[in-house]
């Protein structure tokens, strides 16, 4: 029996736009090993967390090499919505960027421009991995990058929710991640399932549907993902490398604490 070929990581943007069901996880530990394991298992993407984990450019570079080697799309959650952070991640060969705190149309336009050559402001160099270390001709590099780079805006502020109908219309922003954790704290809600958060989720997903753009959300389980999928979400981040390790380690410890033979 022949195992079906996995889609190339370079097809991630196309698959995301087509609202395919995609499953990924956060990477919090700046080493390549967990990425290789997750890619080998068949995860569609991993998100390297520069914002909340100890990643620097060198560790991002190595982590993205591991993503390529294991056949999974490497997305970088950049530390901030700056052109320099975005360029650094993309030059290292990131499939795309997940950009925090995109609360206004101006910020959305800025991250879209920073991620594109044509019609944008992305600085060009053929020397990094993105240019195959000088092996790819200029316009071939430009065409491939503009076609494949995925830009995902994180909607995680009350201001972003208020501006969402305009933000989703910004050209060059491919989709949206709903940051329920930050929204919960910002709204002072008791949990990420509180009515005020659910209302925000429904407004964000409704605006994205109207604009024909996909939504990504972090979930605890496939069952929770099914609920979000009914609202229009199609890409799901499940736990993290550390979360998976903690869960498995806790289960092993619990097993050994049980009755002995």
Position 169 pLDDT exceeds 50: yes
pLDDT of residue 4: 62
pLDDT (average), residues 211-236: 97
Instruction: Just list the catalytic residues.
Output: 52
SS3 per-residue string spanning the chain: CCCCCCCCHHHHHHHHHCCCCEEEEEECCCCCHHHHHHHHHCCCEEEEECCCCCCCHHHHHHHHHHHHHHCCEEEEECCCCCHHHHHHHHHCCCCEEEECCCCCHHHHHHHHHHHCCCCCCCCCCCCCHHHHHHCCCHHHHHHHHHHHCEEEEEECCHHHHHCHHHHCCCCCCCEEEECHHHHHHHHCCCCCCCHHHHHHHHHHHHHHHHHCCCEEEEECCHHHHHHHHHHCCCEEEEEEHHHHHHHHHHHHHHHHHCCCC
Of 215, 250, 245, nearest to 17 (Cα)? 215
Position 80 pLDDT exceeds 90: yes
Position 260 pLDDT exceeds 90: no
Of 98, 99, 109, 100, nearest to 166 (Cα)? 109
% of the chain surpassing 90 pLDDT: 96
pLDDT (average), residues 39-44: 97
Position 187 pLDDT exceeds 50: yes
Give me the domains of the chain, ranges plus CATH numbers. Answer: 9-152+218-252 (3.20.20.60)
% of the chain surpassing 70 pLDDT: 98
Position 57 pLDDT exceeds 90: yes
d(C-alpha 59, C-alpha 49), whole Å: 11
pLDDT of residue 5: 77
pLDDT band at 1, cuts 50/70/90?
very low
pLDDT (average), residues 78-82: 98
């Amino acid at each position: 029996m022949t195992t079906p070929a996995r889609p190339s990581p370079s097809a991630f943007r196309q698959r995301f736009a087509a609202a395919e069901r995609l499953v990924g996880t956060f990477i919090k530990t700046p080493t390549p090993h967990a990425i290789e394991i997750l890619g080998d298992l068949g995860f569609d993407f991993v998100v390297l967390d520069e914002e909340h984990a100890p990643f620097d450019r060198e560790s991002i570079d190595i982590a993205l090499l591991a993503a390529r080697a294991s056949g999974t799309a490497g997305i970088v959650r950049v530390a901030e919505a700056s052109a320099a952070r975005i360029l650094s991640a993309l030059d290292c060969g990131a499939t795309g960027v997940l950009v925090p705190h995109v609360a206004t149309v101006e910020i959305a336009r800025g991250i879209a421009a920073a991620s594109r050559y044509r019609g944008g402001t992305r600085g060009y160099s053929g020397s990094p991995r993105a240019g195959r270390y000088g092996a790819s001709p200029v316009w071939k590099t430009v065409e491939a990058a503009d076609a494949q780079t995925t830009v995902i805006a994180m909607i995680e502020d009350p201001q972003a929710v208020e501006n969402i109908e305009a933000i989703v219309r910004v050209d060059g922003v491919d989709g949206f991640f709903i940051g329920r954790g930050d929204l919960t704290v910002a709204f002072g809600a008791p949990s990420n399932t509180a009515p005020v958060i659910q209302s925000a989720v429904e407004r964000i997903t409704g605006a994205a549907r109207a604009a024909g753009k996909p939504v990504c959300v972090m979930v605890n389980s496939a069952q929770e993902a099914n609920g979000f999928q009914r609202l229009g979400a199609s890409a799901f981040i499940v736990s993290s490398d550390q979360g998976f390790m903690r869960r498995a380690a806790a289960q092993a410890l619990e097993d050994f604490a049980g009755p002995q033979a």
